[in-house]
Amino acid sequence: MKKNVTIEKRKTFRHGDLRNALVTAGLEMARIGGPNAVILREATRQAGVSPNAAYRHFANQAALLAAVRSACISRVAAAIEEEMKKCHPGRYPQAFARKSLRAVGIGYLGFAMREPGMFRTAFSVPPPVHSPDPANTASMGLNPFQLLSLALDRMHESGLLSKKDRKDAEYLAWSTVHGLALLVLEGPLHKMPHEMVLALGERLVVMVERGLSSEIAH
Amino acid sequence: MKKNVTIEKRKTFRHGDLRNALVTAGLEMARIGGPNAVILREATRQAGVSPNAAYRHFANQAALLAAVRSACISRVAAAIEEEMKKCHPGRYPQAFARKSLRAVGIGYLGFAMREPGMFRTAFSVPPPVHSPDPANTASMGLNPFQLLSLALDRMHESGLLSKKDRKDAEYLAWSTVHGLALLVLEGPLHKMPHEMVLALGERLVVMVERGLSSEIAH
DNA sequence: AGCGTATGTGGACGATGTTTACTTAGTAGC
DNA sequence: GCTACTAAGTAAACATCGTCCACATACGCT
């Protein structure tokens, strides 16, 4: 029934790479069942090791969970990057800026839909995302928050956003997509069909783009 | 050390109101530690009853948690109502509509800041909020989602929102405030000062109001 | 009065996180 | 190359949690 992928009974007394094995196992559990599903004992089991061995690498299960969370955040960042790669700076900086902002929002939401467990794990309880912890980044070296900032900078530089409106705009923009994602993943919008979520996502980023700037209409 | 407030050793064999006592105990635990902190055994302990007694009133701990969640949602609705009571329909329907929408957003966010544990408990995993379960409502008989709908209806009726823009607007608006609340409560914005959160909340509802309608500027 | 049943009790099981004490083997120093 | 240090894994135990089973109690209906 249970396919223990990783228990190929090692022959060395030392595992060699236990810390990583535990995080990997935890990541898979998070992927399937969210943050509450990352069980310390189960991780050691999958690594083919006694429960206590984990305590040589993590202070407690919260520490393990924190490591798993970092990994999840990196995945989010990677998903956003993937989306951002699709937009190139052409001759119209404003179009580029808009596309960048949209990429962040859609990348974020897309990941949430594709990997609900990891997404929920990424954003719960005490993540030090704000401080640029390299463990949270993907290939560009930016965490999701910084990727969003980048997109907003492009908006500002291209004249789409005044300096005043640019300030703290990441919080507003992020709130929006994050809220939709969580309402769908573990909230009352639980059974909303995927395509509708994505359609709402499109409307949402438009709303953000329009709503951020105080220029047009007061 | 531990003040067991409610264990006044009953003399009747029957508790009389155990179901309620358990929910109350659970609510307090949720208030302090969020959904993960509502422990079935602890609830029975506080009610001065053996652990299994709970199973005469709830199928399992998930059922208890569901009841607690409903109570939490009611509190959210009550907080929103409180805020909505402050705005009266005057001679300017549009002003009334705007104030209503703002009331929903601010009431929601305010509750999230005041009662983080209950708020997090209210919106996690499988809440049947969508169906108008009377257990989720407050004095007006409306759950948070319906209160939001009401405010948006006022926007529409007063001409601030076209029929097209009105459609599904509750999802967009809700996403926004909910996202900010969760980012602050259990996300990366964990240590943001309260006043800044509320200031952002103000900007947020403005953004929603401006961003919802496609009339002005496309 | 008697009885059915809703309600509460006691004891047990498996699972989890965590601690304490012990074992093993890789490595650094002489 | 031997030895001693120490990082890494093991074993056994404990407290807590959710849950199941069998049993006890007393409320309220006939």
pLDDT per residue as tens digits for the range B63-73: 999 999 999 99
Q: What is the mean pLDDT of residues B14-27?
A: 92
pLDDT given at position B16:
79
Banded pLDDT at A10 (limits 50, 70, 90): low
Average pLDDT over chain A, rounded to an integer? 87
Cβ of B175 within 8 Å of Cβ of A208? The answer is no
**What angle do helix axes B194-212 and A169-186 make, rounded to 10 degrees?**
80
CB A171 within 8 A of CB B200: yes
pLDDT given at position B13:
66
Q: Which residues in chain A touch residue B124, judged by CB atoms under 8 angstroms apart?
A: 186-187
CB A130 within 8 A of CB A181: no
Q: What is the mean pLDDT of residues A193-208?
A: 90
Structure tokens at B135: 């257990």
Banded pLDDT at B7 (limits 50, 70, 90): very low
Helix (H) or strand (E) holding A151, with range, is helix A144-157
Query: Which residue in chain B has the smallest CA separation from A196?
Result: B168
Structure tokens at A173: 């923009």
pLDDT given at position B216:
53
CATH architecture entry for A73-212: Orthogonal Bundle (1.10)
CB B207 within 8 A of CB A172: yes
Percentage with pLDDT > 90 across chain B: 68
Q: Dihedral sign, CA of B206, A153, A99, A114?
A: negative
DSSP per residue, A55-74 = GGT-SSHHHHHHHHHHHHHH
Give, in Å, how far the C1' of D2 lies from the CA of B93. Answer: 93
- Greater pLDDT, B81 or B133: B81
Banded pLDDT at B125 (limits 50, 70, 90): low
Q: What is the mean pLDDT of residues B110-118?
A: 95
Condensed to tens digits (0 to 9), the pLDDT of residues B75-102 reads 999 999 999 999 999 899 999 999 999 9
Say which DSSP state A88 is in. -
pLDDT given at position A35:
94
Who touches strand D, with Cβ under 7 Å?
Answer: A 13-16, 18, 49-53, 56-57; B 12-14, 39-42, 51-52, 55, 60-62
**What angle do helix axes B194-212 and A194-212 make, rounded to 10 degrees?**
100
Residue nearest to nucleotide D21 (CA to C1'): B52
Q: What is the mean pLDDT of residues B114-124?
A: 92
Phi and psi at residue B106, to the nearest 5°:
-70, -40
Condensed to tens digits (0 to 9), the pLDDT of residues A57-103 reads 999 999 999 999 999 999 999 999 999 999 999 899 999 999 999 99
Closest CA to B144 of B183, B116, B103: B103
CB A57 within 8 A of CB A67: no
Q: What is the mean pLDDT of residues B14-41?
A: 94
3-state secondary structure of B55: helix
Structure tokens at B51: 């652990």
Average pLDDT over chain B, rounded to an integer? 87
Query: Which residue in chain A has the smallest CA separation from B203?
Result: A172
Q: What is the mean pLDDT of residues A106-118?
A: 95
Compute the distance between CA of residue B192 and CA of residue B53 in angstroms, rounded to an integer.
43
Q: Is the pLDDT score of A39 beyond 90?
A: yes
Closest CA to B74 of B115, B145, B135: B135
Ranges A179-183, B136-140, B180-184: which has the least confidence: B136-140
Condensed to tens digits (0 to 9), the pLDDT of residues A152-167 reads 999 999 999 999 999 9
pLDDT given at position A161:
93
pLDDT given at position B127:
46
pLDDT given at position B132:
62
Compute the distance between CA of residue A175 and CA of residue B218 in angstroms, rounded to an integer.
23
Closest nucleotide to the alpha carbon of B55, via C1': D19
Compute the distance between CA of residue A195 and CA of residue A187 in angstroms, rounded to an integer.
17
Q: Which residues in chain A touch residue B186, judged by CB atoms under 8 angstroms apart?
A: 123-125
Phi and psi at residue B160, to the nearest 5°:
-85, -15
Q: Which residues in chain B touch residue A182, judged by CB atoms under 8 angstroms apart?
A: 123, 178-179, 182
Q: Is the pLDDT score of B36 beyond 80?
A: yes
CB B209 within 8 A of CB B99: no
Q: What share of chain A is helix, strand, coil (3-state, %, to 5)?
A: 65, 0, 35
Banded pLDDT at B128 (limits 50, 70, 90): very low
CB B165 within 8 A of CB B213: yes
Closest CA to B179 of A11, A91, A200: A200
Banded pLDDT at A41 (limits 50, 70, 90): very high
Phi and psi at residue A109, to the nearest 5°:
-65, -40
Percentage with pLDDT > 70 across chain B: 89
pLDDT given at position B186:
79
Q: What is the dotted CATH code of the domain comprising B18-61?
A: 1.10.10.60
Cα distance between the two ends of chain A: 62
Q: Where are the domains of chain A?
A: 18-61, 73-212
